[in-house]
C-alpha cells in the first residue's frame, strides 16, 4: 500500500507538468485547429532558459533567497519563451494559415527540429544539471522497509498547476481576450467581421501557451534538476496525448488527462516494468479514442454548414 500511495503522489506531480504543457496544445488547437508539434520543444527551450537564469542569479548575482531565485527563473523563462513562440507564430504559422492543412503541420515539425538542433549546438548534447533548488519533505507514513514522502517541490508543483488552471479558466471564460478566443474558435471570418483582431488573438494565444510551457519547464528543472536537448519530444507527445485524452479544447480536460498519463506511467513503472511505460500510456489513449473519440471532457465536433 505504501508503494501505491508514493507512486500516486509521484504520478500526480508528473501529470501536473504534462497538464501545463497540454493546456498550450489545447488552446492553440481550439482556435486555429492545428496541432503545434513544436510546443514540446518550446517547453524544452524554456527549461534551458530557466536553468541558465538560475545559474546567473545564484552564481553571478549572488542571490541566496530560494523564493526570489525561483520567481526570477519563472519571469525570465516566461518572457523569453513567449517571445520565441510569438516569433514562431509570425514566421512559421501565420503565412500558412490559409494553405492546405498539411502545410502548417510540416512547418510545425520543421520548427521542432530546428529548436532541438539549435539547443544541441548551443548547449551541447550532454545533460545539464543544477544543484537541488528546494530541499525538504513531509514523511506521511512508512516503516523500516519503505517510507511515503511528500516533498516541498511536489507541493509547489501541485499548487502552481491548480492556480494556473483557475487563472486561465477565468481568462477564457470571463475576459475580453477569452471571448475573442472563443469567437475565433467558432468562426474566424465572422469574428473578424464583428471587429475582433484575429491575428492579435491568435498571437496572444501562442504567447499564453508558451508562458504555460515555461512554467512547466521551470517546474521540470526544479523537480528533476537536469535537462537535455532531447527532452522536448517525449514530454511533448505525452502532453499532446493528455490533451486528446482529456478532450482537446477543454482546459480542465488537459490537466486531468495529464494527471492520468502521469499516473499510468508511474504505476506501470512501479508494478510492471519501466521499459514499457510509454506503451502503456499510449495504449490507454488508443482505447479511449476508440470508445470515446472526443475525449473525457471534449464536445463532439459539429459540422459547420
Instruction: Please give the mean pLDDT across all residues of the chain.
Output: 87
Per-residue pLDDT, 95? 86
Flag whether pLDDT at 193 surpasses 50. Answer: yes
Pick from 16, 2, 270: which is nearest to 149 by CA? 2
Flag whether pLDDT at 169 surpasses 90. Answer: no
Per-residue pLDDT, 115? 93
Question: 39-43, 106-110, 120-124, 287-291: which has the minimum mean pLDDT?
Answer: 287-291
Q: What are the residues whose beta carbons fall under 8 Å from the beta carbon of 91, sequence distance 6 or more?
A: none
Flag whether pLDDT at 192 surpasses 70. Answer: yes
Per-residue pLDDT, 44? 94
* Confidence class for position 300, pLDDT limits 50, 70, 90: low
State pLDDT tens for residues 109-166.
Answer: 899 999 999 999 999 888 888 888 888 888 877 666 678 889 999 999 999 999 988 8
Question: 70-79, 87-96, 100-109, 228-237: which has the minimum mean pLDDT?
Answer: 100-109
Per-residue pLDDT, 94? 86
For residue 122, the SS3 value is helix
The x, y and z cell numbers of residue 293, run together, are 473519440
Measure Cα distances from 103 to 42, 62, 96 in Å. Answer: 20, 47, 7
Average pLDDT over residues 85-100: 85
Flag whether pLDDT at 188 surpasses 90. Answer: no
**Phi, psi dihedral angles at 150 (to 5 degrees):** -130, 110
**Phi, psi dihedral angles at 199 (to 5 degrees):** -60, -45
Which range among 13-17, 57-61, 104-108, 128-132 has the greatest average pLDDT? 13-17
Pick from 85, 159, 136, 128: which is nearest to 221 by CA? 128
Average pLDDT over residues 273-292: 81
Per-residue pLDDT, 270? 85
pTM here is 0.90
Pick from 9, 6, 12: which is nearest to 261 by CA? 12
Question: Percent of the chain, pLDDT > 70?
Answer: 96
Q: What are the residues whose beta carbons fall under 8 Å from the beta carbon of 197, sequence distance 6 or more?
A: 180
State pLDDT tens for residues 206-264.
Answer: 999 999 999 999 999 999 989 999 888 888 888 988 988 888 878 888 899 999 999 99
Flag whether pLDDT at 304 surpasses 70. Answer: no
Per-residue pLDDT, 247? 84
Flag whether pLDDT at 298 surpasses 80. Answer: no
Domains of the chain in start order, with CATH, are 2-291 (1.10.3470)
Per-residue pLDDT, 217? 93
> Please, what sign has the CA dihedral across residues 36, 288, 261, 157?
positive
Per-residue pLDDT, 1? 72
Q: Which residue has the cell 492556480?
A: 163
Flag whether pLDDT at 305 surpasses 50. Answer: no
Amino acid at each position: 500500500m505504501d508503494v501505491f500511495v508514493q507512486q500516486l503522489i509521484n504520478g500526480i506531480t508528473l501529470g501536473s507538468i504534462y497538464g501545463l504543457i497540454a493546456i498550450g496544445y489545447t488552446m492553440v488547437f481550439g482556435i486555429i485547429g492545428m496541432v503545434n508539434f513544436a510546443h514540446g520543444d518550446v517547453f524544452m527551450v524554456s527549461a534551458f532558459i530557466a536553468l541558465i537564469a538560475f545559474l546567473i542569479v545564484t552564481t553571478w548575482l549572488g542571490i541566496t533567497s530560494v523564493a526570489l531565485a525561483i520567481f526570477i527563473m519563472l519571469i525570465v523563462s516566461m518572457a523569453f519563451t513567449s517571445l520565441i513562440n510569438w516569433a514562431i507564430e509570425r514566421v512559421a504559422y501565420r503565412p500558412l494559415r490559409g494553405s492546405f492543412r498539411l502545410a502548417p503541420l510540416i512547418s510545425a515539425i520543421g520548427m521542432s527540429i530546428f529548436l532541438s538542433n539549435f539547443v544541441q549546438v548551443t548547449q551541447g548534447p550532454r545533460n545539464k544539471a543544477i544543484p537541488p533548488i528546494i530541499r525538504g519533505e513531509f514523511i506521511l507514513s512508512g516503516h523500516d522497509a519503505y517510507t511515503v514522502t511528500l516533498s516541498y517541490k511536489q507541493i509547489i508543483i501541485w499548487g502552481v498547476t491548480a492556480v494556473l488552471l483557475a487563472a486561465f479558466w477565468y481568462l477564457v471564460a470571463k475576459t475580453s481576450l477569452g471571448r475573442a478566443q472563443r469567437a475565433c474558435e467558432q468562426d474566424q471570418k465572422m469574428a473578424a467581421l464583428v471587429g475582433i483582431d484575429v491575428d492579435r488573438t491568435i498571437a496572444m494565444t501562442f504567447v499564453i501557451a508558451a508562458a504555460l510551457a515555461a512554467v512547466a519547464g521551470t517546474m521540470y528543472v526544479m523537480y528533476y534538476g537536469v535537462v537535455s536537448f532531447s527532452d522536448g519530444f517525449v514530454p511533448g507527445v505525452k502532453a499532446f496525448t493528455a490533451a486528446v485524452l482529456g478532450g482537446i479544447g477543454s482546459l480542465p480536460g488537459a490537466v486531468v488527462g495529464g494527471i492520468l498519463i502521469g499516473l499510468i506511467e508511474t504505476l506501470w513503472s512501479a508494478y510492471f516494468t519501466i521499459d514499457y511505460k510509454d506503451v502503456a500510456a499510449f495504449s490507454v489513449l488508443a482505447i479511449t479514442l476508440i470508445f470515446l473519440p472526443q475525449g473525457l471532457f471534449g464536445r463532439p465536433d459539429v459540422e459547420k454548414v
